[in-house]
Amino acid sequence: MHKMIDYTGAAISGYAMLVLLVGWGMGVDPIVRGASDGVGMVPSTALCFIMLGSCMMTVRNQSAIEALVFSISLISMFVFFGFVLGHNVSQPDQNFVDVLNFEVRPVDGMAWGTVLGISLLATALAVLAFGDIASKSVAVLLMAVIGLNALGFVIAKFWDSDLVAVVRLYEQMSIPTLALLLLAVIGVASFATSNQPVSPD
């Protein structure tokens, strides 16, 4: 059961690579959107999922801790990059010039809900990478990912909601993105609740 995190990590990385290489690279729209009229998974999100999946495949192996920490650092950079772009898309009058000392153009647009989900999952992996600690806390954290993303996505996509803050969080999230987030939650939760020590195979 504890190896499920490896399998789900491989599936997540594989699909995200398809999104980049086939979806965006060759213009196969259904891979990117999941539906003809749906929102597409942006390249920065796909890159984050590739790295997240790679982290999931290495978290059980202590000898890979350096690679894991490096991958999480990269995820953090891409998440921040996507957050800035997403903020610019939703509020184009603010361009972060005073913060970053240069203007970031809104050319991508990772949804804030995606940023939240990936950040929490990366944090959970970082905790699990250092041994069999805080398994219940990690599981609670993952339940928050499920609840916030699934509920927020449903409200933003399928209800005529007046909750502007919720809609802004999830209006740019695609169905493939939500599916990969939930798949990652299943994989990481299975490892967190298996009570298996982190050890090399």
State the greatest distance between any 2 C-alpha atoms of the chain, in Å, as a whole number.
52
Three-point CA angle 73, 140, 132, nearest 5° = 65
Q: Is residue 174 assigned to a domain?
A: yes
In a domain, 20, yes or no: yes
Tokens in use for 117?
Answer: 């989900």
The answer to whether the pTM exceeds 0.75 is no
Give the number of domains in the chain. Answer: 1
Residue 10: which pLDDT band, with cuts at 50, 70 and 90?
very high
Domain extent at residue 17: 4-192
What are the tens digits of pLDDT across the range 100-145? 444 444 446 777 778 778 888 887 777 776 665 556 677 667 767 7
pLDDT of residue 104: 41
Who wins on pLDDT, 87 or 7?
7
The model's confidence at residue 66, banded by pLDDT at 50, 70 and 90, is low
Give the confidence band of 178 by pLDDT, cuts at 50, 70, 90.
confident
Instruction: Give the model's pLDDT for residue 196.
Output: 54
Cα separation, 79 vs 188, in Å, equals: 19
197 lies in a domain?
Answer: no
Q: Cβ of 143: how many Cβ atoms within 10 Å?
A: 12
89 Cβ contact list (under 8 Å, min separation 6): 106, 109, 172
Whether residue 116 lies inside any domain: the answer is: yes
CA–CA gap between residue 81 and residue 45 (Å, rounded): 10
Tokens representing 178?
Answer: 């939500």
Residue 198 lies in a domain: no
> What DSSP line would sit under 88-134, residue for residue?
HHH-TT---HHHHSSPPP-SS---HHHHHHHHHHHHHHHHHTTSS--
Decide if 201 is inside a domain: no
